[in-house]
Chains A and B, each alone.
Chain A
Amino acid sequence: MRLLTHNMLASNIKGVTNGFPLRIEVEKAIEKQVDFNPEFLKNMFTKIHWKALVDASRIMGFAELPEEADSSMLESDDFLRNFHHALLELHLEEGALVCPETGRRFPVNKGIPNMLLHEDEV
């Protein structure tokens, strides 16, 4: 699972008011190279929750993203390449996503998070 997917996914357990961002527990992270597409990144920048991406990428062992970012940084090739790497090339392969409010763990196996809720959580 890429961090772009993590940037959208939230815990939706009954009663939880803010299930985003899910905390990441890493057992195994992998990297897969993909083509660099600056236009796509510029378009995504305004839609991304920046802090969630920065925190997630750090947990995954990549600390090159600045704590705060604004659109002027999109002029920098270095910035775009780091943004690209964090958003699209880092994958959580094994581990868990944890609901920030309840601490409920959603396991991630073979890169697939299991977000199924129990009967009493719906």
Chain B
Amino acid sequence: MKLKQLESLLGDLEQFSNPKVELEQYPTGPHIASRMLYTAESSYGDVSGKVVADFGCGCGTLGAAAALLGAEHVIGIDVDPESLEIASLNAEDLELDIDYIQCDLRNLGWRGQVVDTVVMNPPFGTRKKGADMDFLCVALKVATQAVYSLHKTSTRDHVRRAALRDFNASSAEVLCELRYDVPQLYKFHKKREVDIAVDLWRFVPKK
């Protein structure tokens, strides 16, 4: 599948109708989501034929992208039942077979080294400090091959240090810097739209 085609399919997905600020629910736009998964597949072979988990999947955009690029088994995990309902409908619309689990990732009970790749657009930890680091910590325990994640560019040094020193990563690499446009979703947003700089990371867990 071509990048353009992937982006266009993801552009048709339903997004949050009532986003929850405490969960920092921001949709992962089709532009970023398509590039993230396309890079994971075309540069590293981390998607096709693999078991992929989408952490904090929200409406399921990243997981859907993984399934469209040929992942054999995709699992989306989110704490919010309304998001999971939208994610299920999105998967159905695209005729994708994706498993969803309702769970607070910090309390995830997991056996074994079965998941190859974790993809995620975690809460950036702006409202709840450290939320993105909680996600990263669990992702590096569950994945055997790679973790793809978005983090604010302003936290780059901190993310690298935590991943390598505390979370069992053998490598942590920023693949590219992206502009994440946050639409005016919540009342506390003063501007109509803001662009924030985010890094697309690839982490490799220690064997």
Where the two chains meet, the residues of A that have a C-beta atom closer than 8 Å to any C-beta of B are 1-2, 4-5, 7-12, 19-21, 32, 34, 37, 39-40, 44, 47-49, 88, 110-117, 122
Is B111 part of the binding interface, using a Cβ–Cβ cutoff of 8 Å?
A: yes
B84 surroundings in chain A (CB, below 8 A): 112
A37 to B108, CA, bound (A): 29
B99 touches A114 (CB 8 A): no
Q: Does B114 contact A (CB under 8 A)?
A: yes
Q: Residues of A contacting B81 with CB < 8 Å? A: 112, 114
Which residues of B approach A to under 8 Å, CB–CB?
49, 51, 72-73, 75, 79, 81, 84-85, 88, 97, 99-104, 107-115
Interface centre among B75, B97, B101, by most A CB within 10 Å?
B101
- Check if A88 sits within 8 Å of B101, measured CB to CB: no
B110 proximity list for chain A (CB < 8 A): 8-10
- Contact between A113 and B111 (Cβ–Cβ < 8 Å)? no
Sample of 18 A–B contacts (CB below 8 Å): A4-B114, A5-B73, A7-B111, A8-B110, A9-B101, A12-B108, A20-B109, A20-B111, A37-B49, A39-B49, A40-B49, A44-B114, A47-B114, A111-B88, A111-B99, A114-B102, A115-B103, A116-B103
Contacts of A9 in B (CB 8 A): 101, 109-111
Query: A4-B114, A8-B112 given. 16 additional CB < 8 A pairs?
Result: A1-B99, A4-B51, A9-B109, A20-B109, A32-B97, A37-B49, A37-B72, A44-B51, A47-B112, A111-B100, A112-B88, A115-B102, A115-B109, A116-B79, A116-B102, A116-B103
Residue numbers in A under 8 Å from B97 (CB-CB): 32, 34
A21 to B111, CA, bound (A): 9
How far is B110's CA from A44's CA once the two chains are assembled, in angstroms?
16
Give the A-B contact count at a CB cut-off of 8 A.
82
Q: B109 and A7: CB pair below 8 A?
A: no
When the two chains form their complex, are residues A40 and B100 in contact, meaning their CB atoms are under 8 A apart?
no
B75 touches A5 (CB 8 A): yes
Q: Which residue of A lies closest to B76 (CB)?
A: A112
Q: Are B112's CB and A113's CB within 8 A? A: no
CB <8 Å contact, A12 and B49: no
Q: Are B102 and A112 in contact (CB under 8 A)?
A: yes
Contact in complex: B104, A117 (CB < 8 Å): yes
Of A47, A115, A117, the contact of B101 (CB 8 Å cutoff): A115
In the complex, A19→B110 CA distance in Å? Answer: 9
* Shortest beta-carbon distance from A45 to chain B in Å: 11
CA distance A115 to B81 in the complex (A): 11
Q: Closest CB-CB distance, B18 to chain A, in whole Å?
A: 19
